[in-house]
Structure 1
Amino acid sequence: MRNLAIFTEGRTEQIFAEKLVLFLAGGANVAVRVERVEGGRREPRRIVEIAGTGEPEGHEFFVLIIDCGQDERVKSDIRDRYKGLIEAGYQHIVGIRDLRPFKREDAHRVRQGFSFGWPNGPIKPALILAIMEIEAWFLAEYSHFSRVHEAITVERIRREFGFDPASDHMQLRERPAKDLEDIYFLEAIPYHKTREQVERTVSSLDFSLIRNHVATRIADLGKLVRLIEAFFEARGRANHVV
Protein backbone atom coordinates (compact mmCIF):
# COMPACT_ATOMS: atom_id res chain seq x y z
CA MET A 1 0.00 0.00 0.00
CA ARG A 2 1.18 3.50 -0.84
CA ASN A 3 0.66 6.37 1.59
CA LEU A 4 0.48 10.13 1.08
CA ALA A 5 0.10 12.77 3.82
CA ILE A 6 -1.12 16.28 2.99
CA PHE A 7 -1.01 19.00 5.64
CA THR A 8 -3.12 22.09 4.89
CA GLU A 9 -3.29 25.47 6.57
CA GLY A 10 -7.08 25.41 6.76
CA ARG A 11 -10.45 24.10 5.71
CA THR A 12 -10.43 25.59 2.20
CA GLU A 13 -7.16 23.92 1.27
CA GLN A 14 -8.29 20.66 2.88
CA ILE A 15 -11.53 20.50 0.88
CA PHE A 16 -9.74 21.34 -2.37
CA ALA A 17 -6.97 18.81 -1.73
CA GLU A 18 -9.47 16.05 -1.02
CA LYS A 19 -11.43 16.73 -4.22
CA LEU A 20 -8.23 16.91 -6.26
CA VAL A 21 -6.96 13.62 -4.84
CA LEU A 22 -10.21 11.82 -5.63
CA PHE A 23 -10.28 13.26 -9.16
CA LEU A 24 -6.69 12.32 -9.94
CA ALA A 25 -7.18 8.87 -8.41
CA GLY A 26 -9.45 7.92 -11.29
CA GLY A 27 -10.49 4.34 -10.65
CA ALA A 28 -7.75 3.62 -8.12
CA ASN A 29 -8.64 1.85 -4.89
CA VAL A 30 -8.00 4.79 -2.58
CA ALA A 31 -9.07 5.64 0.95
CA VAL A 32 -8.97 9.20 2.29
CA ARG A 33 -8.92 10.15 5.95
CA VAL A 34 -9.35 13.78 7.04
CA GLU A 35 -8.24 15.11 10.42
CA ARG A 36 -8.58 18.58 11.93
CA VAL A 37 -6.08 19.57 14.59
CA GLU A 38 -6.35 22.28 17.23
CA GLY A 39 -4.35 23.47 20.21
CA GLY A 40 -0.79 24.61 20.71
CA ARG A 41 1.11 27.12 22.80
CA ARG A 42 -0.88 26.77 26.03
CA GLU A 43 -2.40 23.36 25.32
CA PRO A 44 -1.28 20.24 23.47
CA ARG A 45 -2.15 19.76 19.81
CA ARG A 46 -5.07 17.34 19.48
CA ILE A 47 -7.22 15.81 16.77
CA VAL A 48 -10.73 17.19 17.19
CA GLU A 49 -12.43 15.92 14.05
CA ILE A 50 -12.03 12.83 11.91
CA ALA A 51 -13.82 12.00 8.69
CA GLY A 52 -13.45 9.42 5.96
CA THR A 53 -11.78 6.05 6.24
CA GLY A 54 -10.47 5.16 9.67
CA GLU A 55 -8.32 2.23 8.63
CA PRO A 56 -6.34 1.95 5.38
CA GLU A 57 -6.46 -1.85 5.18
CA GLY A 58 -7.95 -3.22 1.98
CA HIS A 59 -6.91 -0.25 -0.17
CA GLU A 60 -4.03 0.17 -2.60
CA PHE A 61 -3.65 3.85 -1.73
CA PHE A 62 -4.19 5.74 1.50
CA VAL A 63 -4.24 9.55 1.70
CA LEU A 64 -4.20 11.33 5.06
CA ILE A 65 -5.23 15.01 4.91
CA ILE A 66 -4.63 17.11 8.03
CA ASP A 67 -6.22 20.54 8.47
CA CYS A 68 -3.66 22.28 10.69
CA GLY A 69 -5.87 25.29 11.40
CA GLN A 70 -3.37 28.02 10.50
CA ASP A 71 -0.53 28.67 8.09
CA GLU A 72 2.35 28.62 10.57
CA ARG A 73 1.22 25.24 11.93
CA VAL A 74 1.77 23.43 8.63
CA LYS A 75 5.52 22.99 9.05
CA SER A 76 5.43 22.37 12.81
CA ASP A 77 2.70 19.74 12.49
CA ILE A 78 4.65 17.96 9.75
CA ARG A 79 7.78 18.05 11.91
CA ASP A 80 5.91 16.70 14.95
CA ARG A 81 4.46 13.78 12.99
CA TYR A 82 7.37 13.14 10.63
CA LYS A 83 8.89 10.20 12.50
CA GLY A 84 5.54 8.47 12.89
CA LEU A 85 4.67 8.93 9.23
CA ILE A 86 8.01 7.49 8.12
CA GLU A 87 7.58 4.51 10.45
CA ALA A 88 4.07 3.99 9.05
CA GLY A 89 5.46 3.74 5.53
CA TYR A 90 4.46 7.07 4.01
CA GLN A 91 6.18 7.79 0.69
CA HIS A 92 5.12 11.45 0.25
CA ILE A 93 4.51 14.36 2.65
CA VAL A 94 3.11 17.66 1.35
CA GLY A 95 2.30 20.98 2.99
CA ILE A 96 -0.19 23.41 1.40
CA ARG A 97 -0.46 27.00 2.61
CA ASP A 98 -1.22 30.51 1.39
CA LEU A 99 1.52 33.10 1.03
CA ARG A 100 -0.72 35.62 2.79
CA PRO A 101 -0.27 37.15 5.39
CA PHE A 102 3.25 37.56 3.99
CA LYS A 103 3.90 39.87 1.06
CA ARG A 104 4.51 38.75 -2.49
CA GLU A 105 8.21 39.57 -2.24
CA ASP A 106 8.48 37.24 0.78
CA ALA A 107 7.68 34.09 -1.24
CA HIS A 108 11.30 32.99 -1.58
CA ARG A 109 11.93 33.49 2.13
CA VAL A 110 8.82 31.47 3.04
CA ARG A 111 9.96 28.63 0.78
CA GLN A 112 13.45 28.69 2.28
CA GLY A 113 12.03 28.68 5.78
CA PHE A 114 9.94 25.63 5.01
CA SER A 115 12.87 23.68 3.54
CA PHE A 116 15.19 24.33 6.49
CA GLY A 117 15.58 22.18 9.59
CA TRP A 118 13.95 18.88 8.67
CA PRO A 119 15.14 15.72 10.46
CA ASN A 120 17.36 13.33 8.56
CA GLY A 121 15.06 10.91 6.81
CA PRO A 122 14.11 9.33 3.51
CA ILE A 123 11.47 11.94 2.61
CA LYS A 124 11.82 15.68 2.19
CA PRO A 125 8.39 17.31 2.66
CA ALA A 126 7.22 19.38 -0.31
CA LEU A 127 5.69 22.84 0.03
CA ILE A 128 2.83 24.00 -2.18
CA LEU A 129 2.53 27.77 -1.81
CA ALA A 130 -0.65 29.46 -3.05
CA ILE A 131 0.10 33.04 -4.10
CA MET A 132 -1.46 35.04 -2.58
CA GLU A 133 -4.32 32.70 -1.52
CA ILE A 134 -5.72 29.43 -2.81
CA GLU A 135 -8.71 31.36 -4.14
CA ALA A 136 -6.41 32.54 -6.94
CA TRP A 137 -6.66 28.98 -8.25
CA PHE A 138 -10.46 29.17 -8.10
CA LEU A 139 -10.47 32.49 -9.95
CA ALA A 140 -8.26 30.99 -12.65
CA GLU A 141 -10.80 28.20 -13.25
CA TYR A 142 -13.16 30.87 -14.53
CA SER A 143 -15.68 28.47 -16.09
CA HIS A 144 -16.95 27.68 -12.59
CA PHE A 145 -18.56 31.11 -12.16
CA SER A 146 -21.48 30.31 -14.45
CA ARG A 147 -22.05 27.09 -12.52
CA VAL A 148 -22.30 29.04 -9.27
CA HIS A 149 -24.78 31.36 -11.02
CA GLU A 150 -25.55 31.56 -14.72
CA ALA A 151 -25.50 35.37 -14.65
CA ILE A 152 -21.88 35.53 -13.44
CA THR A 153 -19.91 35.67 -16.68
CA VAL A 154 -16.31 36.59 -17.47
CA GLU A 155 -17.55 39.60 -19.43
CA ARG A 156 -19.51 40.82 -16.41
CA ILE A 157 -16.53 40.34 -14.11
CA ARG A 158 -14.33 42.31 -16.49
CA ARG A 159 -16.91 45.10 -16.69
CA GLU A 160 -17.59 45.31 -12.95
CA PHE A 161 -14.10 44.79 -11.53
CA GLY A 162 -11.66 45.64 -14.29
CA PHE A 163 -9.82 42.34 -14.51
CA ASP A 164 -10.27 39.25 -16.66
CA PRO A 165 -9.89 35.84 -14.97
CA ALA A 166 -9.76 34.22 -18.42
CA SER A 167 -6.64 36.07 -19.57
CA ASP A 168 -5.04 37.82 -16.58
CA HIS A 169 -2.69 36.00 -14.21
CA MET A 170 -4.70 35.41 -11.04
CA GLN A 171 -1.59 34.98 -8.91
CA LEU A 172 -1.07 38.71 -9.38
CA ARG A 173 -4.30 39.47 -7.50
CA GLU A 174 -3.50 40.75 -4.01
CA ARG A 175 -6.66 39.49 -2.30
CA PRO A 176 -8.11 36.59 -4.30
CA ALA A 177 -10.54 35.55 -1.55
CA LYS A 178 -12.01 39.07 -1.49
CA ASP A 179 -12.19 39.02 -5.30
CA LEU A 180 -14.14 35.77 -5.16
CA GLU A 181 -16.44 37.16 -2.48
CA ASP A 182 -17.11 40.31 -4.53
CA ILE A 183 -17.79 38.36 -7.71
CA TYR A 184 -20.26 36.00 -6.05
CA PHE A 185 -21.97 38.94 -4.36
CA LEU A 186 -23.01 40.23 -7.78
CA GLU A 187 -25.80 37.69 -7.31
CA ALA A 188 -25.99 37.94 -3.50
CA ILE A 189 -24.14 34.64 -3.06
CA PRO A 190 -21.99 34.69 0.09
CA TYR A 191 -18.42 33.49 0.34
CA HIS A 192 -17.20 33.67 3.93
CA LYS A 193 -15.23 30.41 3.79
CA THR A 194 -17.72 28.33 5.75
CA ARG A 195 -17.54 24.62 4.99
CA GLU A 196 -20.79 24.72 3.02
CA GLN A 197 -19.66 27.71 0.94
CA VAL A 198 -16.21 26.29 0.20
CA GLU A 199 -17.68 22.92 -0.76
CA ARG A 200 -20.11 24.69 -3.10
CA THR A 201 -17.24 26.48 -4.83
CA VAL A 202 -14.94 23.46 -5.03
CA SER A 203 -17.77 21.27 -6.32
CA SER A 204 -18.31 23.83 -9.10
CA LEU A 205 -14.71 23.60 -10.30
CA ASP A 206 -13.93 21.62 -13.44
CA PHE A 207 -11.02 19.47 -12.30
CA SER A 208 -10.17 18.48 -15.85
CA LEU A 209 -9.52 22.17 -16.52
CA ILE A 210 -7.66 22.44 -13.22
CA ARG A 211 -5.29 19.65 -14.29
CA ASN A 212 -4.94 20.41 -17.99
CA HIS A 213 -5.09 24.21 -18.06
CA VAL A 214 -4.89 26.01 -14.72
CA ALA A 215 -2.04 23.83 -13.45
CA THR A 216 0.04 24.73 -16.52
CA ARG A 217 -0.21 28.44 -15.63
CA ILE A 218 0.25 28.23 -11.85
CA ALA A 219 3.52 26.54 -10.92
CA ASP A 220 2.70 25.37 -7.41
CA LEU A 221 -0.65 23.94 -8.45
CA GLY A 222 1.13 22.14 -11.29
CA LYS A 223 3.64 20.76 -8.79
CA LEU A 224 0.80 19.48 -6.60
CA VAL A 225 -0.96 17.82 -9.54
CA ARG A 226 2.23 16.13 -10.70
CA LEU A 227 3.05 14.90 -7.22
CA ILE A 228 -0.38 13.33 -6.72
CA GLU A 229 -0.34 11.82 -10.21
CA ALA A 230 3.10 10.31 -9.54
CA PHE A 231 1.81 8.90 -6.25
CA PHE A 232 -0.94 6.99 -8.04
CA GLU A 233 1.19 6.02 -11.03
CA ALA A 234 4.02 4.53 -8.97
CA ARG A 235 1.97 1.49 -7.95
CA GLY A 236 1.10 0.81 -11.57
CA ARG A 237 4.77 0.90 -12.53
CA ALA A 238 5.63 -1.46 -9.69
CA ASN A 239 2.93 -3.92 -10.76
CA HIS A 240 4.16 -3.76 -14.36
CA VAL A 241 7.69 -4.64 -13.29
CA VAL A 242 6.44 -7.64 -11.31
Structure 2
Amino acid sequence: MKKMCIYVEGQTEQLFIEKLIQEITNKKNIAMTVKSLKGGGKNSTTEKQLIVIKDKPIDENTKYYILIVNCNTDNRVQSEINENCLSMQNSGYEKVLGIRDLYPKDLKDLPKILKYVTAKHPDLKITAKSIIAVFEIETWFLAEYRFLEKIDNKLTLPYIIKNLGFDLENDCLDQDIKYHHSAEVLNKIYQSVGRSYDKTYAKSEKIVENLDYEILYLVLKNKLKALQEFIDELDNFFS
Protein backbone atom coordinates (compact mmCIF):
# COMPACT_ATOMS: atom_id res chain seq x y z
CA MET A 1 0.00 0.00 0.00
CA LYS A 2 1.28 3.45 -0.97
CA LYS A 3 0.88 6.33 1.48
CA MET A 4 0.84 10.09 0.94
CA CYS A 5 0.19 13.05 3.25
CA ILE A 6 -1.02 16.45 2.07
CA TYR A 7 -0.96 19.49 4.35
CA VAL A 8 -3.32 22.33 3.42
CA GLU A 9 -3.81 25.80 4.83
CA GLY A 10 -7.57 25.80 5.10
CA GLN A 11 -10.97 24.23 4.63
CA THR A 12 -11.41 25.30 0.98
CA GLU A 13 -8.17 23.60 -0.05
CA GLN A 14 -9.09 20.54 2.00
CA LEU A 15 -12.45 20.11 0.27
CA PHE A 16 -10.97 20.68 -3.18
CA ILE A 17 -8.15 18.17 -2.75
CA GLU A 18 -10.48 15.53 -1.31
CA LYS A 19 -12.71 15.84 -4.37
CA LEU A 20 -9.86 16.06 -6.88
CA ILE A 21 -8.32 12.82 -5.60
CA GLN A 22 -11.68 11.06 -5.61
CA GLU A 23 -12.26 12.13 -9.21
CA ILE A 24 -8.77 11.18 -10.39
CA THR A 25 -8.96 7.72 -8.83
CA ASN A 26 -12.68 7.15 -9.46
CA LYS A 27 -12.90 6.47 -5.70
CA LYS A 28 -11.40 3.01 -6.15
CA ASN A 29 -8.89 1.35 -3.81
CA ILE A 30 -8.52 4.55 -1.77
CA ALA A 31 -8.54 5.04 1.98
CA MET A 32 -8.53 8.64 3.17
CA THR A 33 -8.30 10.35 6.54
CA VAL A 34 -8.86 14.08 7.01
CA LYS A 35 -7.56 15.72 10.17
CA SER A 36 -7.74 19.24 11.54
CA LEU A 37 -4.75 20.72 13.36
CA LYS A 38 -5.60 22.63 16.52
CA GLY A 39 -3.32 24.43 18.99
CA GLY A 40 0.41 24.04 19.40
CA GLY A 41 1.30 27.18 17.46
CA LYS A 42 3.93 29.73 18.47
CA ASN A 43 1.43 31.87 20.36
CA SER A 44 -0.98 29.13 21.34
CA THR A 45 -1.77 28.33 24.94
CA THR A 46 -3.19 24.90 24.05
CA GLU A 47 -1.43 21.67 23.25
CA LYS A 48 -1.18 20.60 19.60
CA GLN A 49 -3.96 18.22 18.58
CA LEU A 50 -4.86 16.41 15.37
CA ILE A 51 -8.61 15.86 15.30
CA VAL A 52 -10.06 13.34 12.85
CA ILE A 53 -12.95 14.92 10.93
CA LYS A 54 -13.39 12.31 8.17
CA ASP A 55 -12.16 8.76 7.83
CA LYS A 56 -12.54 6.16 5.12
CA PRO A 57 -10.62 3.29 6.72
CA ILE A 58 -8.11 0.93 5.17
CA ASP A 59 -9.43 -2.47 4.12
CA GLU A 60 -8.19 -5.48 2.15
CA ASN A 61 -8.72 -3.67 -1.17
CA THR A 62 -6.83 -0.51 -0.26
CA LYS A 63 -3.93 0.31 -2.58
CA TYR A 64 -3.50 3.96 -1.66
CA TYR A 65 -3.81 5.75 1.66
CA ILE A 66 -4.16 9.54 1.73
CA LEU A 67 -3.86 11.65 4.87
CA ILE A 68 -5.02 15.27 4.49
CA VAL A 69 -4.16 17.64 7.33
CA ASN A 70 -5.91 21.01 7.51
CA CYS A 71 -3.45 23.33 9.29
CA ASN A 72 -6.08 26.09 9.54
CA THR A 73 -3.44 28.69 8.62
CA ASP A 74 -0.95 29.12 5.78
CA ASN A 75 2.11 29.74 7.94
CA ARG A 76 2.09 26.23 9.44
CA VAL A 77 2.04 24.19 6.23
CA GLN A 78 5.79 24.27 5.62
CA SER A 79 6.72 24.00 9.29
CA GLU A 80 4.55 20.89 9.66
CA ILE A 81 6.22 19.32 6.61
CA ASN A 82 9.69 20.14 7.97
CA GLU A 83 8.83 18.84 11.42
CA ASN A 84 7.12 15.60 10.40
CA CYS A 85 8.58 14.47 7.06
CA LEU A 86 11.26 12.21 8.52
CA SER A 87 8.91 10.41 10.90
CA MET A 88 6.40 10.04 8.06
CA GLN A 89 9.11 8.57 5.84
CA ASN A 90 9.85 6.09 8.63
CA SER A 91 6.11 5.27 8.74
CA GLY A 92 6.06 4.36 5.06
CA TYR A 93 4.85 7.58 3.44
CA GLU A 94 6.19 8.12 -0.09
CA LYS A 95 5.18 11.76 -0.44
CA VAL A 96 4.54 14.61 1.98
CA LEU A 97 3.11 17.58 0.13
CA GLY A 98 1.78 20.96 1.14
CA ILE A 99 -0.65 23.26 -0.66
CA ARG A 100 -0.57 26.92 0.30
CA ASP A 101 -1.06 30.16 -1.57
CA LEU A 102 1.01 33.25 -2.22
CA TYR A 103 -1.53 35.82 -1.01
CA PRO A 104 -1.06 38.32 0.61
CA LYS A 105 2.55 38.40 -0.59
CA ASP A 106 3.35 39.83 -4.02
CA LEU A 107 4.37 37.93 -7.13
CA LYS A 108 7.87 39.39 -6.76
CA ASP A 109 8.19 37.47 -3.46
CA LEU A 110 7.62 34.08 -5.12
CA PRO A 111 11.26 33.28 -6.04
CA LYS A 112 12.34 33.87 -2.43
CA ILE A 113 9.50 31.71 -1.07
CA LEU A 114 10.30 28.88 -3.50
CA LYS A 115 13.79 28.58 -2.00
CA TYR A 116 12.27 27.22 1.20
CA VAL A 117 9.49 24.92 -0.01
CA THR A 118 11.51 21.70 -0.02
CA ALA A 119 12.25 20.00 3.29
CA LYS A 120 15.92 19.28 3.89
CA HIS A 121 17.35 16.52 6.04
CA PRO A 122 20.38 14.27 5.35
CA ASP A 123 18.27 11.13 5.87
CA LEU A 124 15.26 12.27 3.84
CA LYS A 125 14.69 10.21 0.71
CA ILE A 126 11.03 10.95 -0.08
CA THR A 127 9.40 13.96 -1.73
CA ALA A 128 8.57 16.50 0.99
CA LYS A 129 7.68 19.97 -0.25
CA SER A 130 5.05 22.70 -0.50
CA ILE A 131 3.39 23.74 -3.74
CA ILE A 132 2.52 27.44 -3.89
CA ALA A 133 -0.81 28.21 -5.54
CA VAL A 134 -0.48 31.59 -7.26
CA PHE A 135 -2.31 33.64 -6.21
CA GLU A 136 -4.95 31.83 -4.13
CA ILE A 137 -6.63 28.44 -4.60
CA GLU A 138 -9.60 30.38 -6.00
CA THR A 139 -7.39 31.11 -9.03
CA TRP A 140 -7.74 27.42 -9.92
CA PHE A 141 -11.51 27.67 -9.54
CA LEU A 142 -11.74 30.81 -11.69
CA ALA A 143 -9.78 29.11 -14.45
CA GLU A 144 -12.58 26.52 -14.57
CA TYR A 145 -15.10 29.36 -14.93
CA ARG A 146 -17.86 27.10 -16.30
CA PHE A 147 -18.90 26.23 -12.76
CA LEU A 148 -20.11 29.81 -12.29
CA GLU A 149 -23.14 29.22 -14.54
CA LYS A 150 -24.11 26.36 -12.20
CA ILE A 151 -24.06 28.82 -9.31
CA ASP A 152 -26.15 31.38 -11.25
CA ASN A 153 -27.12 31.04 -14.91
CA LYS A 154 -26.38 34.74 -15.50
CA LEU A 155 -22.68 34.18 -14.84
CA THR A 156 -21.62 33.39 -18.38
CA LEU A 157 -18.14 34.26 -19.60
CA PRO A 158 -19.42 37.09 -21.90
CA TYR A 159 -21.36 38.57 -18.96
CA ILE A 160 -18.31 38.47 -16.67
CA ILE A 161 -16.05 40.05 -19.30
CA LYS A 162 -18.54 42.79 -20.19
CA ASN A 163 -19.59 43.73 -16.66
CA LEU A 164 -16.48 43.02 -14.62
CA GLY A 165 -13.54 42.92 -17.05
CA PHE A 166 -12.32 39.46 -15.99
CA ASP A 167 -11.52 37.37 -19.08
CA LEU A 168 -11.24 34.08 -17.25
CA GLU A 169 -10.51 32.15 -20.43
CA ASN A 170 -7.65 34.23 -21.83
CA ASP A 171 -6.14 36.11 -18.88
CA CYS A 172 -3.03 34.63 -17.24
CA LEU A 173 -4.71 34.10 -13.89
CA ASP A 174 -1.51 33.21 -12.04
CA GLN A 175 0.45 36.16 -13.41
CA ASP A 176 -2.03 39.04 -13.80
CA ILE A 177 -1.95 41.18 -10.66
CA LYS A 178 -5.69 41.85 -10.81
CA TYR A 179 -6.18 38.24 -9.67
CA HIS A 180 -3.83 38.71 -6.69
CA HIS A 181 -6.73 38.35 -4.23
CA SER A 182 -8.61 35.70 -6.19
CA ALA A 183 -11.13 35.07 -3.42
CA GLU A 184 -12.18 38.72 -3.66
CA VAL A 185 -12.38 38.48 -7.47
CA LEU A 186 -14.74 35.55 -7.02
CA ASN A 187 -16.73 37.55 -4.49
CA LYS A 188 -17.07 40.47 -6.95
CA ILE A 189 -18.38 38.06 -9.58
CA TYR A 190 -20.90 36.67 -7.10
CA GLN A 191 -21.92 40.16 -5.98
CA SER A 192 -22.73 41.14 -9.58
CA VAL A 193 -25.75 38.81 -9.34
CA GLY A 194 -26.66 39.61 -5.75
CA ARG A 195 -24.70 36.80 -4.12
CA SER A 196 -21.52 36.69 -2.04
CA TYR A 197 -18.56 34.36 -1.74
CA ASP A 198 -16.58 33.58 1.37
CA LYS A 199 -14.65 30.55 2.53
CA THR A 200 -17.47 29.06 4.58
CA TYR A 201 -17.94 25.31 4.31
CA ALA A 202 -21.22 25.47 2.38
CA LYS A 203 -20.00 27.91 -0.25
CA SER A 204 -16.64 26.19 -0.74
CA GLU A 205 -18.34 22.80 -0.97
CA LYS A 206 -20.79 24.06 -3.59
CA ILE A 207 -17.93 25.22 -5.82
CA VAL A 208 -15.96 22.01 -5.28
CA GLU A 209 -18.98 19.90 -6.22
CA ASN A 210 -19.60 21.90 -9.41
CA LEU A 211 -16.08 22.05 -10.86
CA ASP A 212 -15.32 20.07 -14.01
CA TYR A 213 -12.38 17.93 -12.89
CA GLU A 214 -11.75 16.54 -16.36
CA ILE A 215 -11.07 20.06 -17.62
CA LEU A 216 -8.91 20.83 -14.59
CA TYR A 217 -6.94 17.63 -15.03
CA LEU A 218 -6.52 17.61 -18.79
CA VAL A 219 -6.57 21.26 -19.85
CA LEU A 220 -6.10 23.78 -17.07
CA LYS A 221 -2.99 22.20 -15.62
CA ASN A 222 -1.28 23.43 -18.78
CA LYS A 223 -2.30 27.02 -17.93
CA LEU A 224 -1.52 27.07 -14.21
CA LYS A 225 1.99 26.08 -13.21
CA ALA A 226 1.23 25.18 -9.59
CA LEU A 227 -1.79 23.10 -10.56
CA GLN A 228 0.34 21.20 -13.05
CA GLU A 229 3.00 20.59 -10.40
CA PHE A 230 0.40 19.22 -8.00
CA ILE A 231 -1.28 17.00 -10.60
CA ASP A 232 2.12 15.70 -11.71
CA GLU A 233 2.85 14.69 -8.11
CA LEU A 234 -0.51 12.92 -7.88
CA ASP A 235 0.02 11.13 -11.21
CA ASN A 236 3.43 9.98 -10.04
CA PHE A 237 1.96 8.67 -6.79
CA PHE A 238 -0.98 6.85 -8.37
CA SER A 239 1.01 5.37 -11.26
- TM-score, reference length from structure 2: 0.92
1:162 aligns with 2:168: no
* Alignment-mate amino acid for residue 225 of structure 2: A
The equivalent of 1:56 in structure 2 is 58
| Structure 1, unpaired ranges of 5+ | 234-242
Q: Deviations over 1:152-209 (max 9, x none)?
A: 1111111111121011111121211101011112222321100111000111100000
Do 1:7 and 1:65's aligned partners in 2 also have CA atoms closer than 8 Å? yes
| C-alpha RMSD of matched pairs (Å) | 1.5
Which has the larger helix fraction? 1
* Alignment-mate amino acid for residue 222 of structure 2: T
The correspondence for 1:176, drawn from 165, 179, 182, is 182
Runs of 4+ in 1 over 6 A off after TM superposition: none
Alignment of 1:8-157 (within 5 A): 8-26=8-26, 28-39=28-39, 40-41=41-42, 42=44, 43-53=46-56, 55-58=57-60, 59-115=62-118, 117-118=120-121, 120-157=123-160
| Cα deviation, residue 118, structure 1 | 4.1
Alignment partners' CA distance in 1, 2:125 and 2:232: 20
Gap change, CA 1:9 and 1:83, over 3 Å in 2:
same
Q: Deviations over 1:24-76 (max 9, x none)?
A: 113531011100102112333211342122x4343111000000111110011
| Structure 2, unpaired ranges of 5+ | none
- TM-score, reference length from structure 1: 0.91
| Cα deviation, residue 116, structure 1 | 5.6
Do 1:37 and 1:49's aligned partners in 2 also have CA atoms closer than 8 Å? no
Do 2:86 and 2:123's aligned partners in 1 also have CA atoms closer than 8 Å? no
Do 1:37 and 1:68's aligned partners in 2 also have CA atoms closer than 8 Å? yes
1:190 counterpart SS class: coil
Do 2:11 and 2:72's aligned partners in 1 also have CA atoms closer than 8 Å? yes
Alignment of 1:205-216 (within 5 A): 205-216=211-222
* Alignment-mate amino acid for residue 62 of structure 1: Y
Q: Deviations over 1:82-137 (max 9, x none)?
A: 23311221111111000112111011111112226445311131321111111011
Length, aligned pairs only: 232
The equivalent of 2:199 in structure 1 is 193
Alignment partners' CA distance in 2, 1:119 and 1:14: 30
Alignment partners' CA distance in 2, 1:27 and 1:116: 30
Alignment partners' CA distance in 2, 1:44 and 1:84: 20
The equivalent of 1:204 in structure 2 is 210
Alignment partners' CA distance in 1, 2:192 and 2:161: 12
